[in-house]
């Protein structure tokens, strides 16, 4: 799966840019470490297994890191472009909303409470020193890799959801 490919690339060319976010290059070493640290934090929150994790739109790098960490724990992810719509998406299997502390709108707390979904704020201090950290070893998966749900634009008045199963994404 994709985290394995990222880790392999981090071992082969650790300083090569994996992606750019807000005009800053993020190396494969840092990208792999960010995913690993996020996965470890979320595993400590008992998030492994089935279910759906909702992600608010944010910086592309943040969304990728959260989504890959959650999917490696077996959860399916969905990115919600407008946080005010979290309660109206018809997602009964949603277990939580996951964001990085300080990187989401302040109204998210109230919207999550109204939707009956816990908000899990990943603390930013877990990323300290990640850019220089050794490439993490990937743990053996305890659960199958999760999928990702794409939302249509909603131009017809309602969002439609398309599940991309992990098997469809092996080449991503």
The residue among 8 and 158 whose pLDDT is bigger is 8
pLDDT at residue 157 in the model: 65
What would the CATH number be for the domain defined by 2-169?
3.40.50.12780
Task: Quote the CA–CA distance of 85 and 14 in Å, as a whole number.
Answer: 39
The pTM assigned to this predicted structure is 0.88
Q: Which residues pair with 21 in a beta bridge?
A: 24
Strands 17-21 and 24-27: antiparallel
What's the mean pLDDT in 152-170? 69
pLDDT in tens, 52-80: 999 987 778 899 999 999 999 999 999 98
Q: Distance of CA 86 to CAs 19, 41, 78, Å?
A: 28, 23, 10
């Amino acid at each position: 799966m994709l985290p394995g490919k990222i880790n392999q690339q981090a071992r082969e060319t650790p300083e090569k840019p994996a992606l750019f976010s807000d005009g800053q290059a993020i190396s494969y070493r840092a990208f792999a470490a960010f995913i690993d640290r996020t996965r470890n934090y979320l595993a400590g929150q008992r998030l492994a297994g089935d279910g759906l994790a909702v992600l608010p739109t944010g910086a592309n790098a943040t969304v990728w890191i959260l989504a890959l960490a959650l999917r490696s724990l077996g959860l399916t992810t969905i990115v919600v472009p407008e946080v005010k719509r979290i309660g109206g998406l018809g997602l009964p299997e949603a277990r939580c909303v996951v964001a990085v502390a300080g990187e989401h709108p302040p109204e998210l707390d109230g919207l999550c409470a109204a939707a009956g979904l816990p908000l899990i704020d990943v603390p930013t201090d877990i990323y300290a020193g990640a850019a220089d950290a050794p490439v993490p070893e990937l743990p053996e998966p305890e659960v199958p890799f999760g999928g990702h749900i794409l939302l249509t634009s909603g131009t017809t008045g309602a969002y439609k959801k398309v599940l991309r199963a992990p098997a469809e994404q092996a080449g991503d």
